[in-house]
Amino acid sequence: MSSRLPNECYQQIFSNVQDTKTLFSIIQVNHTWCENAIIFLWKNPFRKEIDYNHTKIIPVLLSFLKKDKNTFFDYPSFITHLDFDNLFRITSKFYDNNENEVEYFMGLMEQDDTLPSIFSKLEYDKWPGFGQIWVIILLILVNMARRRANIQWFKFDIRYNDIKGFLSNNGKENDDVEYFYVDDERIVGSNVEMRYNIVNKIENIITTFLNLDDFSESKNFFENLEYLELDRSSFKVAILEAFSMCKNLKTVEIEHPFFQLILRPLVSLIKNQNNLENIIIYGVHNAYMADYHDAIFEIISSLNTAAHSLKRVEICGIKMMNDETFKFIGNCKNLEVLKLEDSYVSIKNFEWIALAEFSKLRSLELVYNWSNKEYVSQFNPIQMILQNKSISLNLKSLHLLNTYIKNHNLLKSISENCRNLINFTTQLTADDDIKYLFNILGNNPNIKEFQLLNPGYPMNLSTGFIIDLVKAFPKKTDYIRLVHIINNLDEFRKFLENCMVDLKFLYVVVSTNNDINEFGECVKRWSEERKKKIKKLDIFSIPSDKKILVRWE
C-alpha cells in the first residue's frame, strides 16, 4: 500500500529516534522510510555507540575518488556531527584490516587532479601507517566539504589507546611509569613530548584542512558550528585559532591542564560568540604554575560578553582566587544551571553568586569545593546563596557536597527557602542538621532523587534516625543513595522494613567491617516479600568501604 504521509511527517517522526539499531531497522522497511530515515542515520556516522570496527563507513566516504561511481544517497551531505576521535579510531582500524583497499584509494587519489594541490605534495610514505591514516581522514573531510556537509557538532578527544601504536616504543609501556588518569586513558604522564607530538600531528589534520589555499569550501566548513568539545589531550591552540571564524557556538566544553597556554585563543573564541548558552571548563589544580591565576581570571571573566545568553555554567578543577572572577555572574539573567566542582572559590566569589538575580535557575550543584579556611570554620558561604529567594524558590535540583566545609546553618536556610526540589543531595556535619533535614523532606513533597552523605564528622546517627529518615521520604522518592549513613546490617534491615516508597534505585555505602553479601541477601528477601523484581544487584568491596547497588523494575 502506498504511503499517504508527506515526507516531512516521516522526517519529523524519525528525527526523534536516537538508537542506531532502530534506524537501521527503519531504513529496511521500504523505499519511503529509507529515504526519510537515512539522513538521521548518517547525521552522526562516527557516534560512540557505533563500534569502531564498523569500517564500512570509510570506503563509502572515499567513493568520490571513483569517477564512475554513483551512490544512491549523498551520504557525506547528511553529516552534521563530527566526532573526530572516533573517526580517527575507525580509520585506523580500516587501515589495519584493509591493506588492498587503502592502496587502491591512495592510487585513485594520486590520479585525481580535481583534489586540492596538497595531495600531490604529501610524502605520507615517510610516516608508515600513520601517514596513510592522516591522508584518508583529510580526504574524508574534503569530500564532506565538497558535498556541503553542514557540521554543527565537533568533538576532539584523542586518548592514549588511540596513539600508543604509533609511539617509537611500539606501544610497549613501562608498567612502573606513573600516569594521571581521570576516567579513561587520556594522554598525560610520562613520555609527554613523544605523545603530544603524535597528538599534534592529528590536530594538524584539522588545521591543514581549514587552511587549504585552493579549496574555498574548507573555509566555511565550520561556519554553522554550534557545539565544540576539546578534551584534555589536545594542544588546542591551533584548533581554537582555526575555529575563530565560528560566531554561533551554543556550547563550548574544554578541558586543559594549563589554561595559561591557551588563554588568548580561548578568550578570543568566547568573545566572538553571539549567543553562547553553555560553557563547561575542566582543569587541574596547578596554581603553582606561572600566570595561572591571571589566566583563570581572564578566561572566566570574559564570559561577561556572553552573559546575556548563558544558560549553563560548569567549572571543575579550577582555583578562583581573584575576588572579581565571578563579578560577571550577576549579568547572567537567563542562567538555568550552575555547577562548581572540585574548585577553590574565594568568599567574595561566593558573594557575587549570592547577590545575583537568577529567576530562571533550576539546578545548583556545588560539590567538593573549598574556600577561605578561617571563614568557613565559622560560616558556610553557600548559605548566602540559599538565602536569596530569587534563587532558592525556583530550584528543582540542588546538590551540595562540600566535605571540607561544615554545614553550620546551611540546612536551616534550605528548609526555610526551598519548596520545589525534585533532586536533592546533601551531607550531615552535626547533630543539629538532622531536624532541618527532616524539615526539607517535609517541605519538598516532589523530591524524587535523594542522596545523603556522612563525611565523617562526629554525630549520633542511630537506628532510630534511620527509621525516622526512611519514614520521612516523600511519596515520589524512588532513587536513594546513602553513603556512610547506615552502619550495619541491622540498620539496613530496619531501613527496608520501614520503607514505604516505591524504590527503583538504592545505593548504600557501609564500612569495611560489614559483610556486604549479607546486605545482598537481605535485599533479595525484602524484594521477594514486597513482590519487587530486581533488575540489577551489584555488590562491591574496596579497601575503603563496601557498597551495594540495586535497581528494580
Give residue-wise pLDDT tens across range 483-516: 999 999 999 999 999 999 999 999 999 999 999 9
Residue percentage of the chain with pLDDT more than 70: 92
Q: Write the CB contacts of 47 (distance below 8 Å, at least 6 apart in sequence).
A: 20, 81, 83, 86
C-alpha cell recorded at residue 168: 617509537
Q: pLDDT category, 55, cuts 50, 70, 90?
A: confident
Q: How much is the pLDDT for 398?
A: 98
Q: Is the pLDDT of residue 6 over 80?
A: yes
The candidate with the shortest Cα–Cα distance to 404, out of 448, 357, 367, is 367
Q: Is the pLDDT of residue 84 over 80?
A: yes
CA 127 to chain centre: 34
C-alpha cell recorded at residue 392: 532558592
Q: How much is the pLDDT for 70?
A: 61
Mean pLDDT of the chain: 89
Q: Is the pLDDT of residue 176 over 50?
A: no
Number of residues that make up the chain: 553
Where does residue 191 fall: left (phi above 0), alpha (psi -120 to 50 degrees), or beta otherwise? left
pTM above the 0.85 mark?
yes
In angstroms, how far apart are the furthest CA atoms of the chain? 81
Residues 275 and 263: beta-carbon distance below 8 Å? no
Distance CA 141, CA 317 (A): 34
Distance CA 245, CA 457 (A): 52
pLDDT tens digits for range 310-338: 999 999 999 999 999 999 999 999 999 99
The phi, psi pair for 257, rounded to 5°, reads -80, -20
Q: Is the pLDDT of residue 51 over 70?
A: no
- H or E segment to which residue 168 belongs: none
Q: What is the 3-state secondary structure (H, E, C) of 100-132?
A: HHHHHHHHHHHHCCCCCHHHHCCCHHHCCCHHH
Q: How much is the pLDDT for 32?
A: 87
- H or E segment to which residue 180 belongs: none
Residue percentage of the chain with pLDDT more than 90: 61
Q: Is the pLDDT of residue 169 over 70?
A: no
Q: What is the mean predicted confidence (pLDDT) over 245-266? A: 93
Q: pLDDT category, 149, cuts 50, 70, 90?
A: very high
C-alpha cell recorded at residue 297: 581570571
Q: Is the pLDDT of residue 49 over 80?
A: no
Q: How much is the pLDDT for 69?
A: 58
Cβ count near 108 (within 10 Å):
18
Q: Is the pLDDT of residue 19 over 90?
A: no
Q: Which residues of 465-493 are buried (b: 16+ CB within 10 A; e: fewer)?
A: bbbebbeebbeebbbbbbbbbbbbbebbb
Q: How much is the pLDDT for 3?
A: 55
Q: Which residues of 293-307 are buried (b: 16+ CB within 10 A; e: fewer)?
A: bebbbbbbbbbbbbb
The candidate with the shortest Cα–Cα distance to 425, out of 440, 408, 439, is 440
Distance CA 103, CA 511 (A): 60
Residues 145 and 217: beta-carbon distance below 8 Å? yes
pLDDT tens digits for range 202-235: 888 998 999 888 888 888 899 999 999 998 766 7
For the ranges 67-71, 78-82, 109-113, the maximum mean pLDDT occurs at 78-82
Q: How much is the pLDDT for 87?
A: 93
Q: pLDDT category, 53, cuts 50, 70, 90?
A: low
Between the two ends of the chain, the Cα-to-Cα distance in Å is 39
- Helices 433-443 and 463-472 cross at an angle (nearest 10°) of 20
pLDDT tens digits for range 92-130: 999 988 889 988 888 888 888 888 989 888 877 777 778
Q: Is the pLDDT of residue 260 over 80?
A: yes
